[in-house]
Amino acid sequence: MSLKEEILDIVENAINELKKEGLQPDILLAGKGFVEQAGEALDVLSLSTYIVKELDYDAVVADSRYLGQIRRASKRISIEPLLVEENMWEELEEL
């Protein structure tokens, strides 16, 4: 599975978790690094995407109607562990 597919899978899991809570996630707040790594994979999601530079390699999937009102209205995800793992595999392949 490619990195972009893994990122898409993580975002879709966060969306599904929020939907199970009865919410309707409609926005993705994402750091610049997150957007760069995910690329066009974000286009297939039905979320409005906003870049928040402070998030870097993290993103927040949220229901905009309740964001800031109830804690469970959003899910924060990070792709930094995926990047570390990918770098490790690249280093191992070079050996």
CATH number at residue 15: 3.30.2320.10
Domain count for the chain: 1
Residue pair 64/83 in contact by the 8 Å Cβ criterion: no
pLDDT at 71: 80
| Two tokens, residue 34 | 């997150």
Q: Enter the pTM of the model.
A: 0.84
Give the pLDDT mean for 46-54. Answer: 93
The burial of 92, by beta-carbon neighbours within 10 Å (0-12 exposed, 13-18 middle, 19 or more buried), is given as exposed
pLDDT at 24: 95
Could you give the dihedral angle defined by the CA atoms of residues 70, 17, 88 and 44, in that order, rounded to the nearest 10 degrees? -100
Q: Report residue 60: phi and psi, to 5°.
A: -125, 120
Domain that holds residue 7: 3-94
